[in-house]
Chains A and B, each alone.
Chain A
Amino acid sequence: KAGVTQTPRYLIKTRGQQVTLSCSPISGHRSVSWYQQTPGQGLQFLFEYFSETQRNKGNFPGRFSGRQFSNSRSEMNVSTLELGDSALYLCASSYTTGNPYEQYFGPGTRLTVT
């Protein structure tokens, strides 16, 4: 099976702009979660989608949003970018939500905000 794919792999944006990141889960996986990884804060949960519904949300401002399509592909959007949004954004897919299924991660999208 193909793994989790994320596009684009690298992005450079200017403060104030918005950005959309895409994630295609492993075939058959219906749960998609997003994480932000920074050197200072480590790995932090953004949100989880299952069956096109947001199931859980982390402690991020409303500028961070996402959605999931009927084919389980997911997108996350960040509006009004700030310098602190520079990070590696990781998408993870799982067969379903909750235990005991492990999550499989994509390679990430490296976002740089200047």
Chain B
Amino acid sequence: AQSVAQPEDQVNVAEGNPLTVKCTYSVSGNPYLFWYVQYPNRGLQFLLKYITGDNLVKGSYGFEAEFNKSQTSFHLKKPSALVSDSALYFCAVRVSNTGKLIFGQGTTLQVKP
């Protein structure tokens, strides 16, 4: 069965510092991985995806993610955090050839001034 794990419920970082939000996955076959962000009382916003190709994927708002097949990880990163990045972040894997996404439990990112 396919699954996604986000090992940290919350990540705290100071503004201006680099941030990492961790995600590991378990899939059979090639993984199709996504990161979404959710602000309070809002839907999910797409940040980036890995389908194939370069292991470093660049996305919206300065975010990037590093795909590591040997470690089955897809960590979200940003070189310099902003207070406005504070939100709930979800990693997801798509079940092959379907529209079904399996989400991790989410990580709350808190960026302090």
Residue A72 CB within 8 A of the other chain: no
Of B34, B44, B103, most buried by chain A (CB within 10 Å of CB) is B44
- The B interface is mostly helix, strand or loop, or mixed, namely loop
With A43-B90, A108-B43 in contact, do A31 and B99 touch (Cβ < 8 Å)?
A: yes
Query: Measured between C-beta atoms, what is the minimum distance from A41 to chain B in Å?
Result: 9
Residue A103 CB within 8 A of the other chain: yes
Q: Are A56 and B100 in contact (CB under 8 A)?
A: yes
A79 to B51, CA, bound (A): 38
- Bits for B35-61, please: 1 = Cβ < 8 Å to A, else 0: 010000111111001011000000000
Q: Are A97 and B99 in contact (CB under 8 A)?
A: yes
Q: Are B99 and A94 in contact (CB under 8 A)?
A: yes
Q: Are A102 and B99 in contact (CB under 8 A)?
A: no
Report the interface size class on chain A: 20 to 34
A6 to B95, CA, bound (A): 25
- Bits for A13-27, please: 1 = Cβ < 8 Å to B, else 0: 000000000000000
Partner of B99, one of A43, A56, A108: A56
Q: Are B43 and A48 in contact (CB under 8 A)?
A: no
Q: Are B99 and A104 in contact (CB under 8 A)?
A: no
Residue B10 CB within 8 A of the other chain: no
Partner of B102, one of A4, A45, A90, A107: A45
> Inside 8 A of A6's CB, which chain B residues have their CB?
43
Q: Are A55 and B90 in contact (CB under 8 A)?
A: no
